[in-house]
A and B are shown apart, each in its own frame.
Chain A
Amino acid sequence: MSKISAWQRVKIAREPDRPTALDYINNIFDDFIELHGDRFFKDDKSIVCGVGNIGNQNYTIIGEQKGRTTKENIERNFGMPNPEAYRKSLRFMKQAEKFKRPIITFIDTKGAYPGLGAEERGQGEAIARNLMVMSGLKVPIIVFVIGEGSSGGALAIGVGDRILMLENAVYSILSPEGYASILWKDSTKSEQAAEKMKLTANDLLELGVIDEVLKEPKGNAKFDVEKMSRIIKNKIVEYTKELQKLDVEELLEKRYRKFRDM
């Protein structure tokens, strides 16, 4: 497992045929209905939201969604959310709280989209508000980093009670390219940056940023999506039960301490 370098994992995490949020969602939940729109501006397809169930337990599900084909990727903005995607997720998270449904999020993004419109519509504000509100939502939140988790764009749906990461997923302050470009003024040093940044699941477990690393099926997750989905599903069921044992006050205090101590 440790034979694979950080840079190799970055490449695996970015493979166009790596399973996406919707692949897992469709496998994990008995039923899933996607629901759309932020009720302010538009339906940003870089994040999918909806409700689903595993047996008798209902969930609100939120996932950053990349496309497979070029057409899909354009539609989904390559999985890079604009502010309305975060506002859409917030709307559904508040709804989850209203109906006491646990929230499951899937992180998979190169980062929040750096565009003119994004700035005009308050990208920073949208992310900040998600971080703030998520920290106080009175329902369990379980976060899975399934592919790339980059920058505030990932964290914006990543404040939760349990944070789990797939073995080949990466999670970092910025892409290795961006990191190399800022620190060393040379974006071609991305490989070196990846090795330096402690962005692999095992590194982050050691740093105390995540709670658990999920081993991927032989090869990696794409070779057996169903098995990977089962692994994730089992964790959802296990942690839902565990977190539902806590009263709301305890749940929120533990969530606060979790980030307070980082």
Chain B
Amino acid sequence: MVIDKIKKRIEYDDKEDEHKSDIPVGKWVKCSKCKEILYKEDLHKNYSVCPNCGNHFRLSSRRRIEQIIDEGTFNEFKIDVKTSNPLEMEDYIKKLEVLKEKTGLDEAVKCGTGKINSKKVVICVMDSNFMMGSMGKVVGEKITYSIEKAIELKLPLIVFCASGGARMQEGIISLMQMAKTSAAIEKLNEHGILYITVLTDPTYGGVTASFASLGDIILAEPNAMIGFAGPRVIKQTIGQDLPDGFQTSEFLLEHGFIDKIVERKDMKDILYKLLKFNSN
């Protein structure tokens, strides 16, 4: 539930990439982990993974879909649901409008159907560029709609998670999205539909405590930060420093909460194999 100081990594501004041919030399970025200075185009070609240390930069939903879904097969669902402002927060709607303009996204998740090596799936991809991927009513609705669509179309469901948790600005309504999405997963299970979640950096709070943790198979990218409570809150509560590697993918694997850590370059292939092994 807590969008607190989850260690901020360098956000990879892929909007610039779209126009990279117009931009002369000098598009460099520093790796937040090894501090190596990287040429953006090299980074881009390497799935936005640092060629030096393997650090997985955060990805936009658009680039994630490019990496996972066969070219030209993604069909975004048209889901007409308006952002509610249940707490009547000043500036909230305006803030969303500005973000929509800035990111070219309509909300913190992109949902639709697409093919992975010709296998059709329903896919949802959360985007941390949009209010840290937080879940309010629209995100809850889009995820739930996608789950219901997977049931209707009898297609496997894949959800890439990236979220600071439930969206504070929508208060209790955000909290209720946890129940809503989890109830939809219960229905999905009754229908015997395969559900794979992929936890990416960061996955926290109300998203961890709902659909993200309910996959038949739960994958994670290396070294992603994943947890329920944010590290700052835990540190304050227990009054001591957190151990190295706490709440990383590797920590979750060790404690038995994820099935496998998959590097970005292998993700499509692994997803394809899992789809193949789990189809009748």
Binding site for B on A (CB under 8 A): 111-116, 118-125, 127-129, 131-133, 135-136, 151-152, 155-156, 158-159, 171-174, 178-179, 182-183, 196-199, 204, 207, 209, 255-256, 259-260, 262
The dominant DSSP class at the B interface is: helix
Confirm or deny: B124 has a beta carbon within 8 angstroms of a beta carbon on chain A.
Answer: no
Given A123-B209, A131-B178, A196 contacting B187 (CB threshold 8 A)? no
A50, chain B: closest CB distance, angstroms: 24
Q: Which residues of A contact B171 (CB under 8 A)?
A: 172-173, 197-199
Across the interface, which residues of A come within 8 angstroms of B227, CB to CB? 119, 123-124
> Which B residues from 1 to 15 make CB contacts under 8 A with A?
1-4
23 CB < 8 A contacts A-B: A114-B2, A114-B230, A116-B234, A119-B228, A119-B246, A122-B213, A122-B256, A124-B209, A127-B209, A129-B213, A131-B182, A132-B186, A151-B1, A152-B175, A152-B178, A155-B176, A158-B179, A172-B171, A173-B168, A197-B172, A199-B172, A207-B86, A256-B183
Q: Which of A111, A118, A151, A182 contacts B3 (CB 8 A)?
A: A182
Residues of B within 8 A of A135 (CB): 179, 182-183, 186
Specify which chain B residues have a CB less than 8 angstroms from the CB of A178 in the assembled complex: 1-2, 233
Q: How far is the CA of A128 from the CA of B238 in the complex (A)?
A: 24
Smallest CB separation, B209 vs chain A (Å): 4
Residue of A nearest to B89 (CB): A196
Taking the closest CB of chain B, its distance from the CB of A105, in whole angstroms, is 13
Q: Check B182 against A132 for contact (C-beta < 8 Å).
A: yes
Nearest B residue to A80, CB-CB? B237
Asked whether, in the complex, the Cβ of A116 is within 8 Å of the Cβ of B238, the reply is yes
Given A115-B234, A115-B238, A124-B209, CB of A182 within 8 Å of CB of B255 = no
- Residues B172 and A129 in contact, CB atoms below 8 Å apart: no
For A136, list chain B residues within 8 Å (CB): 183, 186-187, 190
Q: How many A-B residue contacts, CB cutoff 8 Å?
A: 165
Which residues of B lie under 8 Å from residue A132 when comparing CB positions?
A: 182-183, 185-186, 189, 214
Q: How far is the CB of A250 from chain B (nearest CB, A)?
A: 15
**Chief secondary structure at chain A's binding surface:** helix
Q: Given A132-B214, A151-B1, does the pair A173, B172 have CB atoms closer than 8 Å?
A: yes
Instruction: Find chain A residues with CB under 8 A from B144 CB.
Output: 260
Q: How far is the CB of B204 from chain A (nearest CB, A)?
A: 8
Max chain B Cβ within 10 angstroms of own Cβ: one of A127, A131, A172: A131
Q: A119-B234, A152-B206, A262-B179 are in contact. List 19 more A-B contacts (CB 8 A).
A: A114-B2, A114-B230, A116-B234, A122-B256, A128-B209, A129-B213, A132-B183, A133-B186, A135-B183, A136-B186, A152-B209, A152-B228, A158-B179, A171-B172, A178-B2, A178-B233, A183-B169, A207-B86, A260-B184
B28 at the interface (CB under 8 A from A): no
